[in-house]
């Protein structure tokens, strides 16, 4: 029999996590045969840092479920794990004699896009990203820009110097960063700190020549080559557009492809005419 108080605590913790935008995974024993520590219907909620609410039995079995749940939060895929509790010498997590099957499903917050640069292209990217269901953070270093140039589609508009963006915006593995700034010096100031974050995607607008200038300056600052290889530039898919909204469409098409595992590492294919459109 499922404990109502345990279920209530599990549901309340899930609601709080969702409200806070934390990734979680819920784990349910869907089958229990023979002697097992918990019966079918037992639940456990796992947070990204390994914290739990509820239990699926404790011990080594629960430890393995937590590890599987953390992996599910990383790759976004649900799974069913089977645990035999017979012979630890063969790698089983226990000796109870039974077998458990646990369904694990990640519950992830909406992906977040950080738009660096609140010009024409940045505003268009924010508008389209909002429509696509992203949490949208716009960052600009110009004094009063957020106050005097409001972007209604943004969940937040942050005034911050380029080099300090990670100090003002929480960046996670579900964050996509789009630099559509007014010039290479801003990119050079912003990228060293951004490349140290776990962001899933970092893209920079502009021509190949502009990127060569930016990359040279970053190397002089000691940014390693493997970090530079994380940058997508020129940003976006080549759809032949040139207006801010068309450029935003090309950028978001690339990001959605990345979100669904269809992205390509390295330089994108957006035409060089994007330089100056931001």
Residue entry with tokens 């911050």: 160
The domains of the chain, with CATH numbers, are 4-13+20-107 (no CATH), 112-274 (3.40.50.720)
252 and 239 Cβ atoms separated by less than 8 Å:
no
What pLDDT does 276 receive? 45
Q: pLDDT, tens digit, for every residue of 88-138?
A: 555 445 556 678 889 999 998 889 999 999 999 999 999 999 999 999 999
What pLDDT does 92 receive? 43
Whole-number average pLDDT of the chain: 86
Q: What percent of the chain has pLDDT over 70?
A: 88
What pLDDT does 232 receive? 94
Per-residue pLDDT of the chain (278 residues), as tens digits, is 567 787 788 788 888 888 777 889 999 999 888 777 778 888 899 998 899 998 888 788 888 899 999 999 988 899 999 887 665 555 445 556 678 889 999 998 889 999 999 999 999 999 999 999 999 999 999 888 877 778 889 999 999 999 999 999 989 888 999 999 999 999 999 999 999 999 999 999 998 899 999 999 999 999 999 999 999 998 999 898 889 999 999 999 999 999 888 766 544 444 444 444 44
State how beta strands 175-179 and 43-47 pair: unpaired
Structure tokens at 122: 């940045």
114 and 197 Cβ atoms separated by less than 8 Å:
no
What pLDDT does 216 receive? 95
What pLDDT does 88 receive? 56
What pLDDT does 202 receive? 97
3: nearest Cα among 47, 62, 44, 58: 44
Which runs of E-coded beta strand occur in 40-191? 43-47, 52-54, 79-84, 99-107, 112-116, 135-140, 156-159, 175-179
């Amino acid at each position: 029999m499922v404990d109502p108080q345990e279920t209530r605590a599990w549901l309340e913790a899930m609601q709080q996590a969702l409200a806070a935008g934390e990734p979680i995974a819920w784990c349910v024993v869907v089958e229990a045969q023979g002697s097992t520590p918990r019966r079918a219907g037992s639940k456990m909620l796992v947070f990204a840092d390994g914290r739990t609410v509820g239990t699926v039995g404790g011990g080594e079995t629960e430890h393995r479920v937590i590890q599987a749940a953390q992996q599910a939060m990383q790759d976004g895929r649900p799974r069913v794990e089977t645990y035999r509790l017979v012979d630890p010498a063969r790698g089983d997590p226990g000796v109870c004699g039974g077998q458990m099957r646990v369904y694990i499903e990640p519950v992830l917050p909406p992906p977040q896009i950080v738009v660096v640069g609140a010009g024409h292209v940045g505003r268009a990217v924010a508008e389209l990203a909002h429509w696509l269901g992203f949490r949208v953070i716009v960052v600009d270093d110009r004094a009063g820009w957020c106050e005097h140039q409001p972007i209604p589609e943004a969940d937040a508009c942050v005034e911050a110097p380029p080099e300090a963006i990670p100090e003002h915006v929480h960046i996670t593995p579900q964050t996509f960063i789009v630099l559509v700034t007014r010039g290479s010096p801003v990119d050079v100031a912003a990228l060293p700190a951004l490349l140290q974050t776990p962001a899933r995607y970092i893209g920079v607008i502009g021509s190949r020549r502009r990127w060569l200038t930016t990359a040279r300056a970053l190397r002089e600052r000691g940014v390693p080559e493997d970090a530079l290889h994380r940058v997508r530039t020129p940003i976006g898919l080549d759809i032949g557009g040139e207006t801010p909204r068309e450029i935003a469409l090309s950028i978001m098409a690339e990001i959605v492809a990345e979100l669904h595992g269809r992205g390509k590492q390295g330089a994108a294919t957006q035409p060089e005419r994007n330089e100056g459109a931001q």
